[in-house]
Each structure stands twice: as structure tokens, then as C-alpha cells.
Amino acid sequence: MPTTSSLQIGADDLAFPRLNALSYWLYLFSGILVGVSFFQGSTFAGGWTMYAPLNTPAYIPGEGLGATSVVLALIMFTAAVTMGSVNFLTTMYRMRAEGLRMRDIPIFSLSINLTVWMMLFAFAALLAALMILASDHVIGTTYFQFANDGSTLGTSAENPGASLLWAHLFWFFGHPEVYIVFFPALGAMAEIFQTFTGRRLVGRKWFIISMVLVAIQSFIVWMHHMFLTGINLPIKTIFMATTIGISLPFDLMVFSLIYTMAKGRVRFKTPFLFSLGALLLFILGGITGVFLGAIVLDYQFRGTYWVVAHFHYVMFGGATALIGGLYYWYPKMTGKMYDEFLGKVHFATFFVGFNLLYFPMFIAWETPRRVFEYPADLQIWHNLSTVGGFILGASMLVMFYNLFVSIWRGEDAGESPWKYASTAEWAVGSPPKLENFPGLPSYASGSLEFLDDEEVAERTGKPPGAGVAADGGTASDGGTARNIRAVTAPATPTAAAHETGGEGHASHASFWPFLVSLGGFIAFLGLSGVRTGSPVYVGMAAVGGLATVGSLVGMTRESFHAPEMAIAERWPFEGVEKMKLGMWTFLASDVVLFGGFIGSYAFVRVAYGWSDWHHDLIPAEHVTMPGLINTYLLLTSSFLVVLAMVAAKREWRGATTASLAGTFALGVGFLVNKGIEWNHLFHIHSEMFPNGWTLSTNIGSSTFYLTTGLHGAHVVVGLVICGYMTIRAWNGAYQGDDKPIEYFGLYWHFVDIVWLFLFPLFYIL
Amino acid sequence: MPSDTIAHAVGVPLHGGDVRAPADVFNSIFEVFLVLGTVVGIVVVAYTMYHAIKYRDSGSTDDPYADTVERPQLGEKPTGGTGGRKVFYSFGISAVIVVSLIAWTYTTLLYIENGPDESQAAIDAIEIEVEGFQFGWNFVYPNGHETNSLVVPQDRVIKLQVTSLDVFHNFGIPELRVKTDALPGQYTSAWFTASETGEYTAKCYELCGTGHSLMVTSVEVVPQSEYDEWYADTQSSGNGTSGNVTAAIDAGATTAVGGAPA
């Protein structure tokens, strides 16, 4: 995915290559942690939706540490996803080939762009849900328990919002996730349709507008997963409307694909067969989805095979298109052609198996999900499904064999084996070189060209060879007579010369991302068992934590430079440099994270009774003063960061250092003050709270400590950065270059602003 | 309360039989959707396949549509193809079908949500509290009697107040088309009527732990007279079994029903 879309938009690499490595390693280790969790037991014991309170330790049989590890693993995965999202978005907005407006980028890349936007926000909400759940597991907060003592039978709910809170958090992530999974498939489908029908996408503009609408609307349909939870009629009506509303753009996209075939030269190669198959499956999934949009029907479909069949037609239908995408880009990735006959065999068995597996589920829809008994008269359909499942599984073996063997036996694919393929990835060799393009790609003339060094130098005013090579990724010994190589020309020998591009491409080889991820893995595995008190687990948590922090410092100190493209299309962020854009994107997801925490607090408090809350749950010793002092400390520290920037710009080394040191001191003061406050509250002995007001005391204390604690953690991260920068400033850094201080300042101001919300919510109201 | 409500009950007419049952509502809508869905499915799939086959590449070197259609070129800046108007017409038709179908079902949603007309049926509705637990059901009748399986009279409006004593469950009687979530700390409501006597099954529709599959119980629909007999028998033991767990809810339920377990 990164490769194809960066090729399609003409970027030579991702904006932050080392972050990409970190994202990858975190992803890998999160997967390993999920694997390990199965050996600890109880992984996903409550199903993948992990409904509360079945997901809390009170309901997990035995020690059930796997249930905790898997939540921590998902946190790690979400961190990887967020880094990836920041990276992709920065790349797409800062590194497009000249002349490519956002609306001009190929439809697959556009679908990825929207997918990543949805990921940025949806996964932040998931992160909030997972962090809260992990804290219920590891440090004993009581968000998802409806009785404070963890008792499992009774109706006296001390936290009546517990169950629904999880459902809301989960589906606020869960529904956009459906489109996150489906959009890349949609993009691949559209791309493959264009190539194999020899037609440009009909109604492309409206196709794009439809996708944008879906991406936005995906965040306002989540409650249709909760129609039976007792939400009131007006809200149900709104969510019914948004749900039907989100299906309409898909109608348009389906018709757009159908009409793209008209007057085409349709060639039934494997990629197209899978895409066409996916379209048919999606049509069936869409029609059966309309059934679910009618709430009266939805009630009865809830928890039955109708839902199972419907979402497999949609989601696995999407996967079908992605398999088509795999065949489509296989020659680009490997330089070899797969075997067409085996590809068609794969499609035929896959399509038969798919429908045999899932279609009978519509007929046997009365079967409840996750129940191993069903009425005897439905047996034939279940048997057919089982047979279909095996056929579907077997068909995938054909693909693996085909793709594996073709790496050696396949014919050479050349730059493009596909007639009418139009996007940029088909204009370079297969597989593409490390630097992606034989020159700096540009669409300025209306179609793709590669600018060589001299041309770039002329345009940017820099002498050839100096920095330009690194920027464009071209080697300065490319020496061709022409400045511009049009893509329609056959590959010239110059391409070969680029292989030895020397220092041309930024080296990605950094060991630190791997070590950070390994440390995180050990720390999380340790955390999963900390509540048992076992020294092995505690030790792992400590060692892993130290290793993570140590490697992060190492990563910061390592000199690493990923140059930007000399000429690129950057709308709408021409004026925002790469780091700043990355920081802003990250903060946008952080807003949703805090939104998740603050929203959870508001939700459980409203469910409890807004004013009773303060009376029943909060001790008199919880006073406003510590919060007020902390507000003052943080605001002052933000002011000092601004002073540090000014001083750095004017090259006043002493003042820069002093301002940063002041910021650091005020931040430490904030934490010390908070520490005193918390310590006091932990140990109060009042009539209401004879054993202190700790994390587990009630839902009021849980929300207070966890939400302000998350903010405190942000302060700690800020202080680590600030301390590091103070030392560097003392050694003379940043003079005349206040950018790094500005990036830190953005983060620090954000943390302050969050506090301005938390203070009234947790101290005054 | 117990003795005079029974006496009162005998004289109450059986309005439940006149009420349109949720099962009937569901089945009729489902039927329309199935027919329409099948027709639309066949038409759209056929239309798609028609395009795919009609415009397949014959392998000839001449482009049959060279005059009207421009083929994509490698390296071109992506643009749209011609023929967008047809997309809009088709989209318009599909949107009208979908929106009108859903709008049509909305009135029935109101019916299912609000229950049958109060003046018609409320006086003889029976309100029963349902408590889900790992792994079974507890039914609390207005007189405080508790059972683990449900007994209800034929042709009566049965209103359910559903909650959970532990985790997230979902209470459903599939044949009677009644279903609602059972959440700890909250109540959801649902109602149904059964016109046929017999034995039905209630199931849990939300994964609630290892015994989820076993969380089934019987729902017995009996003639009114038989029910009255059964219910009278529960009186003696009735209030005694109602622990403090359900006491608070009983109070609420009794007032809501207006003292009338028929």
C-alpha cells in the first residue's frame, strides 16, 4: 500500500522513513504479543467486540492474563497505525508530483488518503477505549464495572453507564473501521476497472465526492449497531437516516463502475475477474444491508446469521477486490507475471466457494450467532456453508502456490504488462528501484515526465549535484542529453545508472525503531501480569520500560535526515513544513484521544446523575486549589516557550536556555503539586471514604485519576523533550533556527489547552 | 393487591387478540423487502454482467468505439470518462427505491416502539420483568413471583422490562419477533402478543461467556383460563420469593401496570 500510493502520487519515499520503520516494528511486535496472549489464556474470551462488563477481570476465568495482553497488544497496534497515518497524510500533502492537485491523484491513492484520514480519528477513539480498558485490567480503575466491588450479581448499579460506554466507544471506532477496511478495496476496484475496461472512470468527480461523503458520514452512523440498547426514538431516527444516507453514495459508486465498462474493451484477466466478482458481491451485500437499515427488521436480525452473511458479502467482498489488486500489482512488485490460468482457476473456485459459504447464511438467517446449536431443518444450509468454507480456503492455496512459484518461473513483466494502465507506477521498472523514479516526477505539462538534475537545478536555482541529487533521489552521473524523459519513451540505459545512486537515497537503516518496539513488547507483556504480583512480570515491565525509554533517547540522538523533494505539489499545505504538518496531524488524533476520555467521563457521569455524582462520589478533601495552582503553572510555562522561540530567533543563547529551563521547572512543579494532591487523596480517612480515595474507590475517582493521569503522562513526555532541548540549547543549539522549539511548543500548548478543559470538568463542575 | 387483582382480571376483555402482533409486522415487511430485494438484485447483477459481456474485448486491433471514447494513456493525469449522466439517472432510481422503502417502514417502527394504542390495550397488558444472568433468565411477575421460564396467556399484550444482573445479554423469542438488549444497570422495554398457544424458545443473542449457547429457556403460551389458574397458584409463594434484588422494580412495575395482571 505505501509503495503503490507513493508511486502513484510521485513521491520518492514516505515523509518520515524512520517513523515508518517504527510503525512497522510496533505492528510486528503487537502481532507477536497477540500470539503470545493465546498461551496466557482468555484472549478475546468475550468475542472480538469485547462488550463490557464481560471484558473486565471480574468475568475473566482464572488469571486470564491473555485478555489483558491482547488489549495491550492492540494499544501497540494502534500506536503503529497512528504513526502510519501521520506519515501517510504528511506524504500525500507534501510530496505529490508537480501538477498533481489532490483531486488529480489516482483513485486508489485517493481512497488510501481517505482511509488514512478515517484511521487517524477512528483509531484514536479505539486507543481511548483500549487505554481505559487496560487501566481497568492493570491498575484497577472501574470504568467498565457496574458495581464498584466487582460483584457479578445484582441490580444496584454504582456505574450504570458501564456497559453502554464500551459499546459507544467501540462502535465509534468500529463503524468507520468498516470503511477503513473497505475503501482500499474500492480504490483498487476502480483502478483495475479503468485498466481492464480501457475506460476512464465514469463520473470520476462524483465518485470522489461520494467517497469523501462516506468518509465523513462514517463517524455519524455508529449507533445503528446499538438500536436495541434502549436509545430513544429521536436518536434512532437520526441514525437510521444517516445510515441510509451513507448507503446512497455507494449506489453511485456501483453505477459508476458499471458504466465504466460501457464502450470499453473489457479483458477478463484475473485482476478484473476478482474486481468484477467483488462488485457483484458488494451489490448483494448492499441490498441485504438495506434490510438492516429498516429498524423493525434490524431488531430481529440482531445477533443472527443475516448480519454475518451481510457483512461478509461487504467486507469479504472488499477482500475479493484486494486479491484482484494483489494480482494486478504482483508484476510490479516482483517483476514477474503470475500464471494466468491458475489465476482464473483461483477465481472460479474462490467465487463458487464464497457464495456457497455465505449465501446459505441468508436462508438460514434465524441461526443465532456464536451458538453451536441450530434447528435441525437448517442443517442442509449449514452443511453447504461448511463445504463452501473448505472450497474457499482451498482456492487460496492455489493463489499462494501461483504467486510463490511465479517469482522464479514467471515471465518478465517489464514496466507494464497491462494495456491501458495509466498511473505512474507502471512507468517505472518492475520491481521499482529504491528511489522509485528515474528523475523527479512532474505532471506540470499535463502528463508524467521525469525531470533530471539539470532541469531541477535550473528550476530551483540550486547547482546540480548539490543537494538536488539527494532531494530527487537521482544520481548525478545519470548524464543524459535530454533534460526531460517523457514516460512514453522506452526505458533508457540511464535507469541502470541509478542503481548505483550512492548517497542518493536516504538510508533507512536505523536500529532504534526495532529496539523501541522490542522494549515496548517486553514492557507490555510484563504489564499484563503485574496484577498477579509475579516478579517475572514486574521485572519484564520494568526492564521493557527502561529499554523503550533508552532506545527512544537513542533514536532522538541519532542523526537522521530525510530530505524533501525539491519540487512538489503541496496544496493546501505549501506554507506548513513537513515536521509541523506531521505534528499538527498527530495533535488532531490526540484531540480525539482526549475527546474519548472526556466524553467517557461525561457519559458515565450523566448515566449516574450529573449532580448526584459530586455528592456521592467525590470527597470533600478534593478541593479546587491544587488544580488552580496547576493551571497557573502550565499557562506560565507556555508563555516561556514563546519567549524561548523569540530568544532563539534573535540568537540569545542564554535567554533560550533560561526560558526552556523555566518551562521545564514549571512543568516539574505541576507534577510535584499533582503528586502531593494525589497522595493526600489516596490517604484520606473520612466517614464516606475510610480507606482513602483511590483509583478503585468508585467511578468518580477512576475518571478523575485516569483522565488527569493521561494528561500528566503527556506532561511527562513534554518534560523529557523539554529537558533534552534545554541541554542542547545550553550547548548552543537552535540559535537562529527556532523551528524545533516551535514544534515542541505546539505540543506543549496543546497539553495546556487540554488542561483548560480538564480543570473545570474535574475541579469545578 | 394479589386477591383483588385476580378477581378484577376475570372481567377484563381480551384485547390482545385485536392488536397487530410484532411478528405479523415483521413478517409482512420482510416479505416485501425479500421480493423487492430479489428483483433489484437480479436486475442489477444482470445489468452488470450485460455490460461486462457486451463490451468484452474481441481481440481485434481496431477499436470499435474509437470515435466516441478516448482510451487511457500511460502517464496521463487522471480524469473521468464520459457518460456520467447515466450514472445519475441510475443513482436517482436506486435512491428513490431505498429511501421510500425505509420511509414506508418508519410508521411501523413507531408502532413497535410505542406499543399498541393505550386505550385499547394498556389496561390488560401484563408487565413482566426479565433479568438475564450467566447463564439463564429470571422472570418476575407483577405479584413478585419469579420463574426461570416464561408462561404467558394467549392473545394478551405482554410488556417486558429487560435488564441484566451481570454482563451484556440480549433477550429474544425469535418466533414471536421480540428482541431487546439486557444491560446491567439499565432497563430496556419490548412487547409482544402470541395468538397461538404452544411452546416457544427464548434465547440470548449476545455473546455473554462460555455458557452463552445454553442460555435458552421455554416460553409457554397458554389459554387465558389456564394462565389464570397457574397465576393464582403463584400467589401463595409469590411475594415471598421476591428478594430485595427485585423489590424496587416490582414497585415500579406494579404501578405501571395499574394493578392488573388480568
pLDDT tens column, A446-486: 899 998 888 888 888 766 544 433 333 333 333 333 344 45
Residue B257 has pLDDT above 50, yes or no: no
Residue A227 has pLDDT above 80, yes or no: yes
Domain shared by A666 and A740, yes or no: yes
With bands split at pLDDT 50, 70 and 90, how would you rate the model's confidence at B244?
A: very low
List, in order, residues 6 or more apart from A568 with CB less than 8 Å away.
Answer: A10, A11, A94, A95, A96, A97, A98
Task: Return left, alpha or beta for B80; rule: phi > 0 is left, psi -120 to 50 is alpha, else beta.
Answer: beta
pLDDT tens track for A296-305: 999 999 999 9
With bands split at pLDDT 50, 70 and 90, how would you rate the model's confidence at A126?
A: very high
Residue A597 lies in a domain: no
* Closest chain A CA to residue B38: A287
Q: What total of structural domains would you count in chain A? A: 4
Residue A335 has pLDDT above 90, yes or no: yes
How many contacts (CB atoms, under 8 Å) link A and B? 315
pLDDT tens track for A91-110: 999 999 999 999 999 999 99
Residue A98 φ/ψ, nearest 5 degrees: -55, 135
Of A94, A357, A287, A107, give the one whose Cα is nearest residue A210: A107
Q: What pLDDT does A462 receive? A: 67
Q: What value does the mean pLDDT of chain A take?
A: 90
Interface test with B, best of A169, A232, A236, A265 (most B CBs within 10 A): A265
Q: What distance in Å separates residue B247's CA from the closest CA in chain A?
A: 11
Residue A226 has pLDDT above 50, yes or no: yes
- Helix, strand, or coil here: A365? coil
Domain boundary among A420, A442, A463: A420
Q: What is the mean pLDDT of residues A381-403?
A: 97
Residue A249 lies in a domain: yes
Domain shared by A438 and A478, yes or no: yes
A146/B185 CB distance under 8 A: yes
A195/B134 CB distance under 8 A: no
Nearest residue, CB atoms, A422 vs list B65, B74, B248: B74
Chain A, window 343-362: residues with a beta carbon less than 8 angstroms from a chain B beta carbon:
none
B81/A198 CB distance under 8 A: no
Q: Write out chain B residues lying below 8 Å of A370, CB-based.
A: 207, 212-213
A422/B76 CB distance under 8 A: yes
Domain shared by A306 and A329, yes or no: yes
Instruction: Tell me which CATH code domain B119-257 carries.
Output: 2.60.40.420
Give how far Cα A322 sits from Cα of A58, A147, A184, A286, B211, Å: 41, 46, 8, 18, 37
Q: What is the mean pLDDT of residues A521-533?
A: 91
Residue A385 has pLDDT above 90, yes or no: yes
Q: What distance in Å separates residue B161's CA from the closest CA in chain A?
A: 11
Domain shared by A540 and A492, yes or no: no
Q: Write out chain A residues lying below 8 Å of B76, CB-based.
A: 422, 446-448
Least confident of A8-22, A241-255, A260-274, A661-675: A8-22
Per the CB < 8 A criterion, the answer to whether B121 and B115 are in contact is yes
C-alpha cell at A463: 547547482
Domain shared by A261 and A322, yes or no: yes
The secondary structure element, H or E, covering residue A304 is none
pLDDT tens track for A134-147: 999 999 899 998 88
Q: What pLDDT does B248 receive? A: 36
User: Rounded CA gap, A544 and A554, in Å?
Assistant: 15
pLDDT tens track for B185-231: 889 999 999 999 999 999 999 999 989 999 999 999 999 999 999 99
Q: What distance in Å separates residue B231's CA from the closest CA in chain A?
A: 26
Asked if the bond preceding B72 is cis, omega within 30° of 0, the reply is no
Q: Write out chain B residues lying below 8 Å of A297, CB-based.
A: 26, 29-30, 33, 105
Interface test with A, best of B49, B53, B61, B87 (most A CBs within 10 A): B87
Q: What pLDDT does A252 receive? A: 96
Adjacency order of strands within the sheet including B169-173: B150-153, B217-222, B198-204, B169-173, B178-182
pLDDT tens track for A152-189: 776 667 898 999 999 999 999 999 999 999 999 999 99
Chain A, window 277-316: residues with a beta carbon less than 8 angstroms from a chain B beta carbon:
279-280, 283-284, 287-288, 290-291, 293-297, 299-300, 302-304
List, in order, residues 6 or more apart from B257 with CB less than 8 Å away.
Answer: B125, B126, B127, B142, B159
C-alpha cell at A685: 480517612
Residue B138 φ/ψ, nearest 5 degrees: -125, 125
- Helix, strand, or coil here: B76? strand
Q: Write out chain B residues lying below 8 Å of A268, CB-based.
A: 52, 56
Q: Write out chain B residues lying below 8 Å of A276, CB-based.
A: 48, 52
Identify which has the larger pLDDT, B157 or A563. Answer: B157
Interface test with B, best of A253, A297, A369, A372 (most B CBs within 10 A): A297
Domain shared by A493 and A541, yes or no: no
User: Rounded CA gap, A338 and A60, in Å?
Assistant: 48
Domain shared by A696 and A734, yes or no: yes
pLDDT tens track for A195-218: 999 999 999 999 999 999 999 999
B203/A61 CB distance under 8 A: no
Give how far Cα A192 sits from Cα of A22, A320, A408, A489, B39, Å: 32, 12, 25, 24, 28
Amino acid symbol at A465? G
Q: Which domain holds residue A548?
A: 511-559
Q: Does A189 touch chain B (CB under 8 A)?
A: no
Per the CB < 8 A criterion, the answer to whether B206 and B214 are in contact is no
Residue A500 lies in a domain: yes
How many percent of chain A have pLDDT more than 90? 76
pLDDT tens track for B26-67: 999 999 999 999 999 999 999 999 999 999 998 888 888 988
Q: What pLDDT does A456 receive? A: 86
Domain shared by A636 and A662, yes or no: yes
- Helix, strand, or coil here: A277? helix
Chain A, window 96-115: residues with a beta carbon less than 8 angstroms from a chain B beta carbon:
99-100, 104-107
Per the CB < 8 A criterion, the answer to whether A261 and B56 are in contact is no
Residue B2 has pLDDT above 70, yes or no: no
Q: What pLDDT does A155 receive? A: 63
* Closest chain A CA to residue B57: A265
Residue A258 lies in a domain: yes
Domain shared by A395 and A482, yes or no: no
Least confident of A353-357, A578-582, A594-598: A578-582
Of A281, A432, A417, A258, give the one whose Cα is nearest residue A347: A281
Return the number of other C-beta atoms located less than 10 Å from residue B247's C-beta: 12
Of A256, A378, A234, A251, give the one whose Cα is nearest residue A306: A378
Q: Mind giving me the DSSP string for A599-618?
A: HHHHHHHHHH-HHHHHHHHS
Domain shared by A390 and A457, yes or no: no
pLDDT tens track for B114-169: 888 766 644 578 999 999 999 999 999 999 999 999 999 999 999 999 999 999 99
Give how far Cα A199 sits from Cα of A110, A254, A255, A269, Å: 18, 15, 14, 15
Domain shared by A322 and A459, yes or no: no
Q: What is the CATH number of the domain that holds A293?
A: 1.20.210.10
Positive or negative torsion for Cα B12, B18, B20, B21: positive
With bands split at pLDDT 50, 70 and 90, how would you rate the model's confidence at A624?
A: very high
Domain shared by A758 and A654, yes or no: yes
Give how far Cα A36 sits from Cα of A130, A281, A701, Å: 18, 36, 33
Q: Does A148 touch chain B (CB under 8 A)?
A: no
Q: What pLDDT does B175 receive? A: 94
Residue B99 has pLDDT above 60, yes or no: yes
Least confident of A336-345, A365-374, A384-393, B15-24: B15-24
Q: Does A497 touch chain B (CB under 8 A)?
A: no
